[in-house]
Chain A
Amino acid sequence: MKLIIAAIKPFKLEEVREALTVIGVRGMMVTEIKGFGLQSGHTEIYRGAEYAVNFVPKMRLEIVVADSLADQVVDTITKTARTGKIGDGKIFVIDVSQAVRVRTGETNDDAL
């Protein structure tokens, strides 16, 4: 099993969810986050007081899938979330050692 963590632009969330559903992803966790990468934020001015806002709003997706599906998920997110402009986000893939479905006690791939 793999855990795929992706930070994407907030307005891309719905599109990515749809595309992942199509390839067979059956669940994900989503968090509103702030962060920075190459995109260095922007400046806000309030009555002449300038603030550099370095942390930009993003959506963090956490998706656990069977090993066989992992590459396809990464590929789908990359294609769907891409605008070609700075700030499109990042994807990380991590090995997962165990999964349990709370209701039934099923484990690993059965629990996904």
Chain B
Amino acid sequence: MNRVTKFAGVGAGVAAILASLPLAAYADMIKAPDATAMAGMVNKGDTTWMLVSSALVLLMSVPALGLFYGGLVRSKNMLSVLMQVFMIVSMVAIIWCVYGYSLAFTGGSPYVGGLSKAFLMGVSASSYAATFSNNVYIPEYAYVIFQMTFACITPALIVGAFAERIKFWPLMLFCGLWVTIVYFPVAHMVWYWAGPDFLTNPGQEADYGLVWGWGALDFAGGTVVHINAGIAGLMGCLVIGKRTGYGKENMSPHSLTMTMIGASMLWVGWFGFNAGSNLEANGLAALAFINTFVATAAAALSWSLVEQLRHGRPSLLGAVSGAVAGLVAVTPASGYAGPMGSIVLGLLVSPLCYTFVSVVKSRFNYDDSLDVFGVHCIGGIFGAMMTGVLAAPGLGGQGWVDYTQFPAVAGAWDMGTQLYAQFKAVMVTLLWSGGVSLVLFFVIDKVFGLRPTVEDERQGLDQTSHGENAYNM
């Protein structure tokens, strides 16, 4: 049972491309290149794509996520949600450069990186980060920026679970601690590895994160982003408790127009998130792009169909919720599944998430205000597990790449092994993020208090926390 010999990668597509190269090209490949050699392995197209993708992913948090969430709350809490998202992004960007990038993406232990790149030490315009292809590099700054946008959006996703009833600064404290103790280690465990030119380098054979070593496939963050944030949100809404008046008062969304604009911009930004996660501008980036497109469309359709059957009318909120569920589910699968598999994935995720937000939530009576758990965690788990199915070459998927060979070759597909690796990745994320989040929320609540007073909550957080109104008309 030596699972460590199996490594996650971009798929058989790359291996196939590599295999078609003339043997002479292999001979020219450099094992463990130094920075000077890497400088000749950078493609301006890849660099451009990574910079554009990074901007697209920032667009997902501000304004897209802010508007998506903001439209769903009552108008008296609109600004509080926008402010939380905006400030979490701002704060985490700084933390990322101070020590986050180093903790996530340097070697050290299988669980977390070290501090060798704290304050971005050693990162310069002439340092490089590995891609999924042998002898292909991107500027390290581009990689730092791209990954930074992921670190910024993930804690911002959490706030939807306890929207309309959280104090601002205790929330910021939680997010700062959460990215440090949860996000950076999980990103390290799932995504860190020495790179395709280094895993065969003596002394670096085991230079990768724990979950990566298990062979779990997570292309763009099903575990790291969505399950991670979703379970943290559930813990938050359990510790903080329900909104005052929940179940008795009308808490309908104040602007589904904004929610639709936000969801649509999320869809656009997600192309940077998923297709950008390929790290190179090639056919596999285009594959991730089309998968992201069709899974989302399929999920919007199937949520609407479920509502038509259950309520006799399809709602816009249902359609855009389905779209987000589809985006979440396809995130881990985007570079591995085929387009037809992605359509199936999208069609299936919506009925599942619908059940959680409309049946399970009321059955267990928790107030996950904007369904962070029901959409992101459940959709993320479904997507992570289905990645182990849809990556199958027999189902039009890309399989996985064995990077223990130089150059890398296609790995032998075994769905049982893959599903087990996916399952372990899901469980590690659920347990680590869920456990740590529960403790953090509990301690911060005891020390500083997480909830505003009932009077402040009734008046609305815009006025009581921030001293302003969203709409002065």
- The chain B residue with its CB closest to the CB of A52 is B250
Assembled-state Cα–Cα distance A48/B252 (Å) = 11
A45 in contact (CB, < 8 A)? yes
B354 in contact (CB, < 8 A)? yes
**Inter-chain contact A47/B250, CB cutoff 8 Å:** no
Residues of chain A within 8 A of B318, CB atoms compared: 47
Set A44, A48, A51: member contacting B358, Cβ < 8 A: A48
Assembled-state Cα–Cα distance A44/B17 (Å) = 54
Set A45, A48, A51, A53: member contacting B362, Cβ < 8 A: A48
**Inter-chain contact B252/A44, CB cutoff 8 Å:** yes
- The chain B residue with its CB closest to the CB of A50 is B311
Assembled-state Cα–Cα distance A51/B318 (Å) = 16
Assembled-state Cα–Cα distance A46/B251 (Å) = 9
**Inter-chain contact B354/A48, CB cutoff 8 Å:** yes
What's the tally of chain B residues with a CB closer than 8 Å to chain A? 16
**Inter-chain contact B252/A47, CB cutoff 8 Å:** no
**Inter-chain contact B354/A45, CB cutoff 8 Å:** no
Distance in angstroms from B364 CB to nearest chain A CB is 13
Interface of B is mostly: helix
A102 in contact (CB, < 8 A)? no
Residues of chain B within 8 A of A48, CB atoms compared: 354, 357-359, 361-362
Residues of chain A within 8 A of B321, CB atoms compared: 47
Distance in angstroms from A32 CB to nearest chain B CB is 13
**Inter-chain contact B359/A46, CB cutoff 8 Å:** no
B315 in contact (CB, < 8 A)? yes
- The chain A residue with its CB closest to the CB of B359 is A48
What's the tally of chain A residues with a CB closer than 8 Å to chain B? 8
Set A45, A51, A53: member contacting B315, Cβ < 8 A: A45
| Residue in A44, A45, A47 with the greatest tally of chain B CB atoms within 10 Å | A47
Residues of chain B within 8 A of A49, CB atoms compared: 251-252, 358, 362
Within 1-36 of A, Cβ neighbours of B (below 8 Å) are at: none
Within 238-271 of B, Cβ neighbours of A (below 8 Å) are at: 250-253
Binary flags per residue of A56-87, CB closer than 8 Å to B gives 1, else 0? 00000000000000000000000000000000
**Inter-chain contact B252/A46, CB cutoff 8 Å:** yes
Interface of A is mostly: strand
B55 in contact (CB, < 8 A)? no
**Inter-chain contact A53/B358, CB cutoff 8 Å:** no
B371 in contact (CB, < 8 A)? yes
Set B311, B361, B371: member contacting A45, Cβ < 8 A: B311
Assembled-state Cα–Cα distance A44/B252 (Å) = 8
**Inter-chain contact B359/A47, CB cutoff 8 Å:** no
Within 317-358 of B, Cβ neighbours of A (below 8 Å) are at: 317-318, 321, 354, 357-358
Residues of chain A within 8 A of B252, CB atoms compared: 44, 46, 49, 51
Residues of chain B within 8 A of A53, CB atoms compared: 250
Assembled-state Cα–Cα distance A14/B427 (Å) = 63
Assembled-state Cα–Cα distance A40/B299 (Å) = 35
Binary flags per residue of B361-376, CB closer than 8 Å to A gives 1, else 0? 1100000000100000
**Inter-chain contact A47/B317, CB cutoff 8 Å:** yes
Binary flags per residue of B146-183, CB closer than 8 Å to A gives 1, else 0? 00000000000000000000000000000000000000
- The chain B residue with its CB closest to the CB of A47 is B357
Assembled-state Cα–Cα distance A48/B251 (Å) = 12
Assembled-state Cα–Cα distance A53/B318 (Å) = 19
Residues of chain A within 8 A of B253, CB atoms compared: 46
Residues of chain A within 8 A of B371, CB atoms compared: 47
Residues of chain A within 8 A of B357, CB atoms compared: 47-48
Residues of chain B within 8 A of A47, CB atoms compared: 317-318, 321, 354, 357-358, 371
Assembled-state Cα–Cα distance A75/B457 (Å) = 48
Residues of chain A within 8 A of B359, CB atoms compared: 48
Residues of chain B within 8 A of A44, CB atoms compared: 252
- The chain A residue with its CB closest to the CB of B303 is A47
Assembled-state Cα–Cα distance A46/B316 (Å) = 9
Assembled-state Cα–Cα distance A47/B310 (Å) = 11
Residues of chain A within 8 A of B315, CB atoms compared: 45-46
Within 294-324 of B, Cβ neighbours of A (below 8 Å) are at: 311, 315, 317-318, 321
Assembled-state Cα–Cα distance A53/B249 (Å) = 11
| Residue in B250, B359, B362, B371 with the greatest tally of chain A CB atoms within 10 Å | B250
Residues of chain A within 8 A of B361, CB atoms compared: 48
Residues of chain A within 8 A of B317, CB atoms compared: 46-47
Within 376-426 of B, Cβ neighbours of A (below 8 Å) are at: none
Assembled-state Cα–Cα distance A99/B140 (Å) = 80
Assembled-state Cα–Cα distance A46/B311 (Å) = 11
Binary flags per residue of B172-214, CB closer than 8 Å to A gives 1, else 0? 0000000000000000000000000000000000000000000
* 28 pairs, CB–CB < 8 Å, chain A vs chain B: A44-B252, A45-B311, A45-B315, A46-B252, A46-B253, A46-B315, A46-B317, A47-B317, A47-B318, A47-B321, A47-B354, A47-B357, A47-B358, A47-B371, A48-B354, A48-B357, A48-B358, A48-B359, A48-B361, A48-B362, A49-B251, A49-B252, A49-B358, A49-B362, A51-B250, A51-B251, A51-B252, A53-B250
Which 5 pairs between the two chains have the least Cβ-Cβ distance? Answer: A48-B358, A51-B250, A47-B357, A46-B252, A51-B252
Q: Could you list which residues of chain A lie within 8 angstroms of chain B, going by C-beta atoms?
A: 44-49, 51, 53
List 18 other contacts, CB 8 Å, given A46-B252, A47-B371.
A44-B252, A45-B311, A45-B315, A46-B253, A46-B315, A47-B317, A47-B321, A47-B357, A48-B357, A48-B358, A48-B359, A48-B361, A49-B251, A49-B252, A49-B362, A51-B250, A51-B252, A53-B250
